[in-house]
Structure 1
Amino acid sequence: MRRALTALVLLAAVGGGVAWWLTAPDPIPESELAGLTGDATRGQAVFAAAGCASCHLAPEDESAGPPVLAGGQRFVTQFGTFVAPNISPSPQGVGNWTDAQLINAIARGVSPEGQHYYPAFPWTAYNKADLQDLADLVAHLRTLPPSEAESLPHEVPFPFNIRRSLGGWKLLFENRDFVLQADLTPEQERGRYLVEALGHCGECHTPRNPLGGLRTDAWLSGAPDPAGDGQNPNITPAGLQWSEGEIVAMLQSGFTPEFDVVGGEMAEVVRNTSQLSDADRQAIAAYLKAVPPIESPAPEPGTGDSTAEE
């Protein structure tokens, strides 16, 4: 019996050590970041494509001028409520972070302290972004107005508040490859980069499994809003039957072919896509028409059951 107990203790210790190693943060190697110099002017376009202001502006902030990324917006999900942090270039924000720390936060979901970030922050999409683009984005962030607002803690219950467990989530669900692997034109490839990486469109328009992983088999086919406020629409050709020109026009003006105006979170998206070049909006449209048509799937148990249209 003593030998059996000793063996069980040793086995548990070994298993715990392996689990600890497997769930460790995986930052970008320093060699890949060496020599990167960001360009703030180029970074402004990356900032718009990535939609940073949509989440990190303070609630109800509609002031003109350069955005103040003070944070504070709340995002309600089945796992808890996540609060966007201050990412302005102040000591309360990210002003004291190095460029490498910022890039690792954006692309790998790793904090300067070596903790995992929740995938409510879409590093799961930004992990496909070009490192030069991220360096340019960081350079632009440093030009924006600082805010002294303190970042508020997330309201996440046990067991989801165990940060280390996110390492296991990453092992199961993080995907650093593009979803659409078809033979694409250069324009469609640019659109894929804007949609799947910088624009992180799949985060809202793709259904999730009960643990919050994206169901890439139903890519962009629509998903319940995490807060339970209706349904984010299907934007594959099975659901979005607009022409490329109509998609481009909506991304620039917010007007749909039905002479309606997009609202809610999509209005925030249009504020960003309207700042892109004509070529980039056209590339997004070309990609969306190249995505395989998928009928909107029924929600999986535990992922929400709202079916109201956006």
Structure 2
Amino acid sequence: MALRWTRILGAGAAVVAVGVAAAWFLTKPAPLPEDSWAGLGEPDLARGETLFWVGGCAGCHAAKGATGDAVKVMSGGLPLTSPFGTFHVPNISSDPNAGIGAWTLAEFGNAMLRGVGKGGEHLYPSFPYTSYARMSPEDVNNLFGYMKTLPASSNVAPPHELGFPYNIRATLGGWKFLFFNSEPWVDLASADEKLQRGQFLVEGPGHCGECHTPRNALGGLEAGQWLAGGPNPEGEGRIPNITPGSRSVGSWSEGDLVNYFQTGFTPDYDSVGGSMVEVQKNLSHLSQGDLEAIAAYLKAVPERQ
């Protein structure tokens, strides 16, 4: 009898071990192959600057209240509150110690596209790599090249303030397994170049869905409610629905949207408010063509009430 139970327990332990090994394999950090970063050539700094603005880098990583050229100092430190705790935005300036000045292109690229940190660890999706994943290695090369031209800052951001179990980074592997992918949110494969450009800007570097799409209890975006609005992830008020089915933005023309991005004024002569203030400031740096592409995409997505 004892031998029988020993065999049963041994078999059970083996099954558990296999399950743990399989779970680790499926959820471990997965950087891109090294050759993804080979042969990209010199970065296009103008395109890199466009990605910098549409990506909202200054909105999160500049010091609070920064104006003028100071918005290009990526000193970090801004607290981002969430149901999971408070995240402190890191320094991503060109400083080699406090910032990312000593990072390689591959290290930067894996953070952007795979949510993998310099030390090979999972990054929290408070950094929107879940959207940036739709960028290409060429895009990353251009952005990284531009960011290396920006001023350095020696500011050291405080650590995140997260309770158990959210302070265990290994759990992020499971979260990525469930929610992280780089597939398009809307099928526009047969659309014209303008619409596809708008889709790239909104779904990729612009990461509009990170705020404008509701999330489930685990923090994953609800695919069936793309851009339908939802609770403010920082806890106050609501982020609006920006699909054509919206009771407010839905009635705006493409021209109204472009003007809003450029000036911050709505068709009713109201002005941009809340967290959208920083977003609008960033978008105002984009070309007319890119803003028109974003507007065209927002009018093409499925209606949500």
TM-score (ref. length: structure 2) = 0.94
Match of 2:224, as an amino acid?
A: D
Q: Which residue is 2:77 aligned to?
A: 72
From 216, 219, 229, the counterpart of 2:223: 216
Corresponding letter in the other structure for 1:230: G
The residue correspondences of 1:196-235 to structure 2 (distance < 5 A) are 196-235=203-242
How far off is 1:204 after superposition?
0.3
Structure 2 CA distance for partners of 1:248 and 1:78, relative to 1, 3 Å: same
Aligned to 1:61: 66
Who is 1:45 aligned against?
50
Query: Which residue in 1 is equivalent to 2:7?
Result: 3
Alignment partner of 2:118: what SS?
coil
Letter in 2 for 1:64: D
Which residue of 2 is the match for residue 287 of structure 1?
Answer: 297
Q: Which residue of 1 aligns with 2:131?
A: 125
**Stretch deviating more after TM superposition (1-10 or 111-120):** 1-10
CA displacement at 1:40 relative to structure 2: 2.4
Aligned to 1:300: none
Asked if structure 2 preserves the Cα contact closer than 8 Å seen for 1:205 and 1:223, the reply is yes
2:278 match: secondary structure: helix
Q: Does 1:252 align with 2:257?
A: no
Mapped pair 1:32 → 2:36: yes
- CA RMSD in angstroms comes to 1.2
- After superposition, the C-alpha distances for 1:226-276 in whole angstroms (9 at most, x for unaligned) are 122100000000112200000000011100001011012111111111100
Gapped runs of 5+ residues in structure 2?
none
Q: Write the deviation string for residues 47-74 of structure 1: whole angstroms up to 9, x where unpaired.
A: 0111111000122333535611010101
Q: TM-score, normalised by structure 1?
A: 0.93
| Identical-pair percentage | 48
| The one of 276, 282, 290 aligned to 1:272 | 282
One-letter code aligned to 1:252: Q
Q: Is 1:112 matched up with 2:118?
A: yes
2:171 corresponds in structure 1 to: 165
Q: Which runs of 5 or more structure 1 residues have no equivalent in the other structure?
A: 296-310
**CA displacement at 1:186 relative to structure 2:** 1.2
Native 8 Å contact 2:244 2:298 kept in 1: yes
1:23 is matched with which residue? 27
Maintained 8 Å contact 2:63/2:71: no
Cα drift, residue 19 of structure 1? 1.1
The 1-side partners of 2:17 and 2:65 are apart by 50
